[in-house]
Structure 1
Amino acid sequence: MTETRIQRVAVLGATGSIGISTLDVIARHPDRFEAVALTAHVQAERMAELCAKFRPRFAVMGDAMRAAQLREMLAGSDVRAEVLFGSDALADVAAHEDVDTVMAAIVGAAGLPSALAAARAGKRVLLANKEALVLSGRLFMDAVSESGAELLPIDSEHNAVFQAMPASYVRNPDKCGIRRILLTASGGPFRERSLESLRDVTPEEACAHPNWVMGRKISVDSATMMNKGLEVIEAHWLFGVPPERIDVVVHPQSVIHSMVEYADGSVLAQLGNPDMRTPIAHAMAYPDRIEAGVRSLDLFEIARLTFERPDVRRFPCLDLAYQALRAGGAAPAVLNAANEIAVAAFLERQLPFQAIADVIAATMERAQGLSVDSLESILETDARARQLARAELAARQVR
């Protein structure tokens, strides 16, 4: 084991599922990690509980009202966290000199500015926000290269790919003899449901993932397999592999988290129980291995591992993501923005489940002349794509 000093960690999105798992790993290793900054969007009460337990130096809320609530909850206690709010505060904390490691776990496009700030500041960035690379792939990777930041993937699939690659890997797959990346997917809750019945899917059904405990938005993305499409785009930027060499494999048991095929025919896979504390602990302690609180994998209990090709009729969002990656430019950012709007509408029962892909496709077709060569232009493209997606939603409600 390498000699270590205590890592000072900022957990962006501390009240979400990734944030809670990260804090669990931190709590197990107080000799290695310290939570110096915690952020949340709206859950002030939960944030107060976390501040009392982890005693961060900074606590950031989404807006002034929630920050005031948190200050009131902490008043009279011995917690001395500096309570801040807003996107600028998030970026400032992510780049702060007293922070070594940033867990970037804010969901969606909202997580991009703070993740990019951490990359530009040369931090160890634990990237759980796949949208950061979907929106700003080249810009983000250039920031990592220029600052000397250390980028470690947290998505179970990308972390598995990272573990299956040689330690000397430098985003040159041909140099390492890499033939293909195989991203595994559970297939979500509707893998075997009849196509006709998907017209009647409810938000509750879409959020009932068979293997993972996740937030509502990402659960719907799993049901449509848009999450896998976004992961294909993320894998392209993380590992420098073109889309035609990134395949998706439906693996319902969620035990093999992803695989790498090499030129000599070898296929290396990373296996484990479906628990996000495994990739989190791997990235936090890298290159060491530490206890994560995850039970041992019992292959006899699992008994069999099965694999299927994804059905594009059932999962059209996956095909849309490949189209966006091949198109390049602003297309992935438009895809992501339209998906966020469509999924939100579905969760609010304003859009049928199968129409999510239709809204995304229509938005991608209408979005032209958009740019993603700076953070400002990315945010403008994101906003414009959301306008177009909302207009498509409105037109559908009139029909």
Structure 2
Amino acid sequence: MDNRTFAKDLYKFLKDNDSLGHFGDIPAEDGISELEEYLSDLDMVKETIKDIEEIADSFDDHDVYVTEVKPLLKGLRTVQEKLEAEQSKRMVADTGYEVKQSIQIGNQEILMAENLKAEDGNFYMKAEYTENGLIGEYSQVAVDSDYLEIMREFTKSLHGQIEKVASEIGKAAYQSEPITAKECHPNDYSQSIVGKVVAIKAEALRPEYRRGDRQLILVDGGNGANANARGNAVFCTHLNDGSRTRFERYDVQGEMKELPAWAAARLDAINAEREAARHPIPKSAPQETVAGYTITERVNVGKKTFVLGHNPKAVSPFVTWQQLEGRSGYDLGHYFSDRDRALADLHTRADSEREATSPVKARNPKNRDDAR
């Protein structure tokens, strides 16, 4: 049944049972047109279902419900399912191409999409998608009229990404066997885990990263790392390669009872690097000065660099700035009266930039046994 015909049936029923007189005040054609528009709006379809159910609750005659109400509700729910299916379609930006297949490996997703209405006849698309926080970027896009040609491009890109991730894992491959709950103390929310080495649950990681050397992290801070914390954010450093990332407290399996030899050695190396950074060897070369502030610290995150500057003569002697790749200047300054607060802000800004950009973390972890 088309929407116009169904709208006429709806109009008749609602007009006959219109206690508020809404449809009595407008011409029949206008009422039918209004209901026809509703059938293209998911929220209005849901509201109409509720209206009819409320009307039906007042009926005493079961036969009337079966012959009049039930067919309308069935039709409306069919329309609802159709609209929900259309809304759930994943499109490649505003190109008109709908994603038909996608496989994510590491930090990149390989997509195959289709647009059978493409005016140029290129009905099929291959693209690579990378998400950095709230921003998604499509790259290496190819379109073609030949489905098999696009699938060749799709599999070629997929194979290339597999090899890239395999190489990345191989550079810091210490332990392939996953770490189990038996090797950890329970994740006790009443205890702080700042400065502790903990294991992340294997199921919180993407399948390709469910390895012991990817599970072990050194906790640096975050609201979720504190005892009896209200938040969940846990900022940390991977022991295997020293990269920084973020997990949630419910992703934590627990503090390690005993570190494997490789992890103990990596922990010592990370601590030594941090100690050396606190007491850098003086450099004879002049340091960069910006607006009277001498740049003393730098942290690179993707396409941004965050810096800490010091000017003892300024009202606020310390500042943190960001610099975008390809630009010579700095912007978005945060000013402080003491170095510790400025240094904390430097790392907070860097950590915020890293959030959700880690290729390691799985999407929407489902097992949260100890989540509060």
Task: Output the TM-score relative to the length of structure 2.
Answer: 0.26
By relative contact order (CA 8 Å, sep 6+), the higher-ranking structure is 1
Question: By percentage of residues, which structure has more helix?
Answer: 1
Higher strand share: 2
Structure showing greater Rg: 2
